[in-house]
Structure 1
């Protein structure tokens, strides 16, 4: 069996991203200038041997993935394990607004994000359980490269987990819109192969 890569692609920019709003699972559209991001990322991914395309169910991820699906003639699969973290009462609010309304939780989020989980706020530990659970279903079947269009939180959690750091390095990772990072299965575990190997915002 060939050793494929899991290409982790953050969706293209949205107005919420630009306004530093925690969108959570809101189905927002891409920003008006997102087309350039999508086209450049599609061009890059079309040349790295993608054999399968999987997307979060959020609209912004699906819209970011459609161009590659069309170009390569591959089905766009929806995977709920790749969904953005459920933000609960933080959804639709900026960090400044959250800090005012949830000061204790916000301070903890800035200091030790793994410890934040309350009410409808999913939390990083729960995100890690669902996305790594999905990864384990791929471990013995991955052939070729799989492009996974998902979200900042999911990608940072997967990179941290693959490094064996849990979420301890979560705040040290930068994942720009349309940034492409990757994991590889080496027969015994998932390893980090690249971080932001491609990122249109850096060009």
Structure 2
């Protein structure tokens, strides 16, 4: 058995997101806007899909985001460290400009979809493998009519998507999720490959992404936007 629907939900904004700093596994909390994003998105998400299970990264920003959904739905959020963000080693906490200044060659490899060497970063394959294993394991505890929400991080979710959709890890055709937005996958029929299909991407409350990122439109948002995805910085 397995959940028929899996929702991959990115955490709300942090101070590092606002400053365009690479977070990786730095355990930084949501900022005030991030909490408002998470609360608003939790209302939209719970109105869009039935939430039958919640699994969450052990990092604080994801757990704080999941708490808003758990409070609204009455579902306990189960912590699984395999859903944490990709480790970026020496780059964590730095801006793109700072990384490119000191690691120009490795930075080019990373931006082109490769695995930078010598900086202590996890490989794409390692992250995809642990993410998919965790999601499949928790989904297996639910019924085909039920939905699992996995609360995680930008790079980790993108790599989970490529793994679950049977895409190559170097494929760059999926944009990263906006803070507190989600992707929805549905189980394909038995014998159909890949096992999952993408039903919607970068879903979230309907507003401009500029206003959402700045927190200027929060509190006056209602129905979720089920339109096309939006490009956001890595």
TM (normalized to structure 1)? 0.89
CA distance in 2, matches of 1:82, 1:57: 7
Does the 8 Å CA contact 2:3/2:148 hold for their aligned counterparts?
A: no
Give the Cα–Cα distance (whole angstroms) in 1 for the partners of residues 204 and 73 of structure 2: 19
8 Å contact kept, 1:162–1:192: no
Moved more, 168-177 or 56-65: 168-177
Quickly say closer, same or farther: Cα 1:123–1:117, change in 2 above 3 A: farther
Q: Quick check: 61-70 or 124-133, which moved more?
A: 124-133
Match of 2:202 in 1: 196
Q: How does 1:125-164 map to 2 (within 5 A)?
A: 125-138=125-138, 140-143=140-143, 144-164=146-166
Q: Structure 2: any 5+ residue segments left out of the alignment? A: 213-234
CA deviation profile, 1:9-52 (whole Å, cap 9, x unmatched): 00000110111111111111112222321121111122210011
Q: Answer yes or no: is 1:76 the counterpart of 2:77.
A: yes
CA-atom RMSD, angstroms? 2.1
Is contact 1:139–1:185 with CA below 8 Å preserved after alignment?
A: no
Bigger drift between 169-178 and 82-91 goes to 169-178
Residue 97 of structure 1 deviates from its aligned partner by 0.7
8 Å contact kept, 1:180–1:199: no
Seen in structure 2, the aligned counterparts of structure 1 residues 84 and 129 have a Cα distance that, compared at 3 Å, is: same
Aligned to 1:60: 61
TM-score, structure 2 length as denominator? Answer: 0.78
| Equivalent pair of 2:106/2:116 in contact (CA under 8 Å) | yes
Task: Classify the secondary structure of the residue corresponding to 1:21.
Answer: coil
1:25 aligns with 2:25: yes
Q: Which has the higher helix share?
A: 1
Q: Which residue of 2 aligns with 1:106?
A: 107
Please give the alpha-carbon distance, in whole angstroms, between the structure 2 residues aligned to 1:31 and 1:171.
30
185-194 or 13-22: bigger deviation? 185-194
Structure 1 stretch displaced more, 183-192 or 86-95: 183-192
| Whole-angstrom CA distance in 2 between matches of 1:171 and 1:117 | 23
Aligned residues of 2:85 and 2:152 also touching (Cα < 8 A): yes
State the secondary structure of the residue aligned to 2:54.
strand
Q: What is the aligned residue count?
A: 202
Q: Report the 3-state secondary structure (helix = DSSP H, G, I; strand = E; otherwise coil) of the residue aligned with 1:33.
A: helix
Q: CA deviation at 1:138?
A: 4.4
Paired residue secondary structure (1:38) = helix
Q: Equivalent residue of 2:52, what SS?
A: strand
CA deviations on 1:144-185 (whole Å, 9 max, x unpaired) are 111111000111112222333222333641310011102222
Structure-2 change in CA distance of 1:17 and 1:50 (3 Å):
same
